[in-house]
Amino acid sequence: MWCVGELIIRLKDHSDSLRRIPLASRGGAFIFPSPFESQIVTKTSLITGGAGFIGSHLAEKLLSNGERVIVVDDLSTGAASNLAGIRDHESFEYIEASIDDESLVEELVSKVDRVYHLAAAVGVALIAKQPIQTIERNIYPTQLILRHLGKRLDAGKAIPCFFASTSEVYGKNPKETWCEEDDLVFGATTKPRWSYGVSKAIDEFLALAFHKERGLPVVVGRFFNVVGPRQTGAYGMVLPRFVQAALRGDPLVVHDDGKQTRCFAHVDDVIQAVVTLVETPEAAGRVYNIGSDQDVTILGLAQRVIERVGSSSKIEFQSYAAAYDQSFEDIRRRIPDLTRIREAIGFEAIQNLDGIIDSVADYLRSSANAN
């Protein structure tokens, strides 16, 4: 049987030539052999960014629903190990490639029944450092996917599509809670951190235009701080960073005064909402906030993490300028108004913060033991 490490090497060695070969003939290089029992496969879903944190959970969910799943990921921030639990599933296919390859997008979009577009440049720290990559990664692939979904519309097939957007599109709107029709209030273009929210907003405009002008059944989900097992702290995500530090007994570094608030939702609750929205025809052409509306200060989060993990770690404070750069601007509050998604699909984020912290700590402990 393949182990993940072997697979990555082989894929990397052959990625250029393999990318040009029609998918059906790619054979064993990309398709994991499976010991799983056969089940009736109803539809095929494409997940871009499926080796990432949210995408890998979504892939597991769709497979457990009896779907066939194709994941495309270039492993820029994701990891093949995120797919370890499903790599042998007979209905699962993994392609290591970038979704900015038009011939690949054309080929994949022509054969699937659903598209979940999650691939993006992600993480505040990464975005502050690499704005060119953020803008290019977040806009061009979305354009390609929508263009080829448009071609399927021309051929008479309306393929439902989910586009993963972000609470960052609200920018620094000063409202207490944000609802989907609120204004997007970005900072100056000299501050690179806004390039993430603006690039996702452009994607939203394009997706909604494909719905309005062409009738494409695309739904936009704005995620608010999704957390859970497999999220990496490497690109600035706060919860895995805190839990990792607490487990090691290192200081938990809180940015600014720590009084800024966020709402954290477990990835399982979020992907349930994503799948339900895609399967709800009335949701097409609309934007939905997805997340929890229970806010906590970042300092409060650090204290809760230390308590749940039973750690002796201390809390240290760091300015945004030291953490990122002088131009960095943060958002003090970020709370979604969930009225629309509650009315549409009865959504509630079920898992509470303590349970979420425990699940992340369990995951990090077991990964440390595995390494």
Ligand X SMILES: NC(=O)c1ccc[n+]([C@@H]2O[C@H](COP(=O)([O-])OP(=O)(O)OC[C@H]3O[C@@H](n4cnc5c(N)ncnc54)[C@H](O)[C@@H]3O)[C@@H](O)[C@H]2O)c1
Q: Report the catalytic residues.
A: 196
Residue numbers 214-273 binding ligand X by CB under 6 A: 223, 225-226
- 163 near 221, Cβ under 8 Å? yes
Pairing of strands 114-117, 218-223: unpaired
Interatomic CA distance for residues 338 and 180, integer angstroms: 9
- 166 near 196, Cβ under 8 Å? yes
Of 95-103, 242-250, 333-341, 357-365, the segment contacting ligand X by CB under 6 A is 95-103
The alpha carbon torsion through 250, 256, 260, 262 (nearest 10 deg) reads -40
Exactly one of 46, 72, 161, 306 binds ligand X (CB under 6 A); that residue is 72
Question: Which residue, 51 or 302, is less far from ligand X as judged by CB?
Answer: 51
Question: Which residue, 225 or 313, is less far from ligand X as judged by CB?
Answer: 225
How big is the chain by its Cα radius of gyration, in Å? 20
Nearest distance in Å: CB 5, ligand X: 17
Residue numbers 25-54 binding ligand X by CB under 6 A: 48-49, 51-54
- 246 near 305, Cβ under 8 Å? yes
3-state secondary structure of 132: helix
Tell me which residue has tokens 């699937």: 112
Nearest distance in Å: CB 35, ligand X: 26
Question: Which residue, 225 or 359, is less far from ligand X as judged by CB?
Answer: 225
Verify binding: residue 94, ligand X, rule CB under 6 A.
no
Exactly one of 21, 29, 31, 75 binds ligand X (CB under 6 A); that residue is 75
Nearest distance in Å: CB 151, ligand X: 20
Exactly one of 23, 47, 63, 99 binds ligand X (CB under 6 A); that residue is 99
Identify which of 322, 307, 186, 168 has the alpha carbon closest to the alpha carbon of residue 255.
322
Exactly one of 114, 137, 211, 266 binds ligand X (CB under 6 A); that residue is 137
- 223 near 166, Cβ under 8 Å? yes
Number of shown-chain residues binding ligand X (CB under 6 A): 28
Exposure string over 104-135, b if 16+ CB within 10 A, otherwise e = bbebbbeebebbbbbbbbbbbbbbbebbeebb
Exactly one of 122, 159, 252, 341 binds ligand X (CB under 6 A); that residue is 122
Give the footprint of ligand X on this chain (CB under 6 A).
48-49, 51-55, 72-78, 98-100, 118-120, 122, 137, 141, 164, 166, 223, 225-226
